[in-house]
Amino acid sequence: MAYFAPEAMAFPLPKFVPVKQIIPDEVLSDIPGTVAREIAKPSVACRMEPGKTAAVLVGSRGIDNLATIVRATIDTLKAAGVKPFIIPAMGSHGGGIAERQAGILAGYGITEETMGVPVKASMETIVIGASESGIPVHIDKFASQADYVVPINRVKVHTDFKGPIESGLCKMMVIGIGKHNGCSRVHQEGFANFARVIPEVAAVTLGHLNVPFGVAILENGFDHTYAVEAVPGNEILTREPALLAKSKELLPRLYFDKLDVLVCDQIGKDISGAGIDPNITGRVAGRKTEYWSVPAPTITRIVVNRISAGSHGSAVGLGCADLCPESIWDTIDREATVANQIASCVPENAFTPMLVPTEDDALRGAIVTSRCPDWSAATVVRIRDTLHLTDIEVSESLLPYCRSNSHFVVPEGC
């Protein structure tokens, strides 16, 4: 089948040159020691008693050093005489199936054997009340039976809404702990209302459950652990906005104003909740956001080549692409994808883009449809994924810009 006119087949695809983006990489060195010291703070330690049980909430995000942080939290709770166990707190991820959610944690090295405590996975929830605007508040059955609930999560900008509280401890206390039932119900409110809904529902959860503290994680531009803080439960709603502001300062970016084409080698739930992070691309479900608070280039066409192994077949984010190779189709787990997107009420984020035979065809199609007047001079950037933005590849047409910009290091001779 002839996808391209002869003229479109005649021009050579761009040659890519590896360049580096300069992104600071300050990291936290002693993670177990920091976790222990944070939980030992008087404002935290005074909120726990020996002999009590604690449900430790762990999510499905690809968080750096997650197993180390969880294990350090577990060990510190045990040292205080508390009896912890782990709950997969990830809303509808894993197709909304308890065994799959436990399997996702196992993929991060979090199992009963490695953590030394039970992992209790269930999709059963109870309703503990309603929010101010009447939203029923679901929580995991096992969490409802524990004396304490301890959320562990990364605080960062969300991929679909903006507000003083986005992704973090509050969101885990709303959507993660709510499992498939709570996740689905909250997403019915729509992302446009999440800046209000998340704190509102979190306030109910925090008011009904005994949350002695939450473990907040900040990551730098390399998604390496930058800081870990134990936030007293009664301060989570007021402390999280400051943590989010710091997260925004650490956020990496693509240092371009406009690109004809972005090639993203892989997308996945382990890379971003949206599969491909719109804080990097400026796109949500195929459209340029109108309210973005972080800088992102204007990108005419996006190519996605594959779904990451860590996404477990979830094709979330595919709707942000314009073209893909046909090989991507056979790697999609339809059940997991549909379950997650129905629960999140954003089916368009998994819409199928135009499929062409090969990766080269996808790149050629993206350039031809980019409306660039000179296809051979198209500005193209290729990245591994939106988590890895230091080592990138650029088309030769972008070399003059990169040489003149202090955010880039171009190899000698290029």
Q: What is the pLDDT of residues 93-127, one digit of tens each?
A: 888 899 999 999 999 999 999 999 999 999 999 99
If asked whether residues 95 and 242 sit together in one domain, one would say: yes
Q: Of 74 and 8, which is predicted with more confidence?
A: 74
Task: Please tell me whether residues 203 and 264 are part of one structural domain.
Answer: no
Among 193, 217, 250, where does a domain finish? Answer: 250
Instruction: Residue 280: give the domain boundaries.
Output: 6-23+253-409
CA–CA separation, 92 and 90 (whole Å) = 6
Tell whether 221 and 325 lie within a shared domain: no
Q: Which of these, 228, 77, 244, lies nearest to 149 by C-alpha position? A: 77
Evaluate whether residue 359 is within a structural domain. yes
Mind listing the pLDDT tens digit for each residue in 127-143? Answer: 999 999 999 999 999 99
User: What is the sign of the dihedral through the CA atoms of 108, 111, 116 and 117?
Assistant: positive
Q: For residues 155 and 243, is the Cβ–Cβ distance under 8 A?
A: yes
Is 414 domain-assigned? no
CA distance 126 to 252: 39
Q: pLDDT-derived band of residue 293, with 50, 70 and 90 as boundaries?
A: low
Question: Quick check: 303 pLDDT over 70?
Answer: yes
For residues 287 and 335, state if they share a domain.
yes
C-alpha to C-alpha distance for 124 and 181, rounded to whole angstroms: 8
The answer on 144 and 87 residing in a single domain is yes
- Determine which of 28-32, 167-171, 288-292, 409-413 has the lowest per-residue pLDDT on average: 288-292
Distance CA 34, CA 119 (A): 24
Nearest to 393 by CA among 282, 293, 303: 303
Q: CB 52: neighbour CB atoms within 10 A?
A: 17
Residue 198 within any structural domain of the chain: yes
Specify the number of domains making up the chain: 2
Over residues 359-387, the pLDDT tens digits come to 999 999 999 999 999 999 999 999 999 98
In-domain check, residue 401: yes
Q: How many Å apart are CA 168 and CA 158, to the nearest integer?
A: 9
Q: Which of 273, 269, 350, 266 is nearest to 310 (CA)?
A: 269
DSSP 169: H
One domain for residues 294 and 390? yes
Asked whether residue 1 is assigned to any structural domain, the reply reads: no
* Structure-token pair, residue 239: 């402390």
Residues 6+ away with beta carbon under 8 Å from 360: 13
pLDDT class for 159, splitting at 50, 70, 90?
confident
Q: Regarding predicted confidence, which is higher, 52 or 352? A: 52
Return the CATH number at 125: 3.40.50.11440
Chosen domain end from 217, 250, 283: 250
Per DSSP, 174 falls in state I
Last residue of a domain, one of 223, 250, 277: 250
- Do 272 and 354 have their domain in common? yes
Q: Is the pLDDT of residue 354 over 90?
A: yes
| Residues 262 and 152 occupy one common structural domain | no
The pLDDT tens digits of the residues spanning 60-79 come to: 877 999 999 999 999 999 99
For residue 299, is it within any domain?
Answer: yes
Six token digits for residue 352: 């199928």
- Is the pLDDT assigned to residue 221 strictly greater than 70? yes
Structural domain contains residue 195: yes
Q: Tell whether 14 is covered by a domain.
A: yes
Rg of the chain over all Cα atoms, to the nearest angstrom: 22
- Residue 2, SS3? coil
Number of other residues whose CB lies within 10 A of the CB of residue 12: 8
Considering the domain architecture, whether residues 107 and 71 belong to the same structural domain is answered as yes
Residues 185 and 209 in one domain: yes
Mark whether 129 and 204 lie in a shared domain: yes
Whether the pLDDT of residue 290 is over 70: the answer is no
Taking the C-alpha atoms of residue 75 and residue 282, their distance in angstroms, rounded to an integer, is 40
Distances 397 to 225, 365, 386, 393 between C-alpha atoms, Å = 35, 18, 22, 12
Q: Are 228 and 245 within one domain? A: yes
Query: Is this structure's pTM higher than 0.85?
Result: no
**Contact status, residue 159 vs residue 279, Cβ threshold 8 Å:** yes
User: For residue 27, what pLDDT is reported?
Assistant: 96
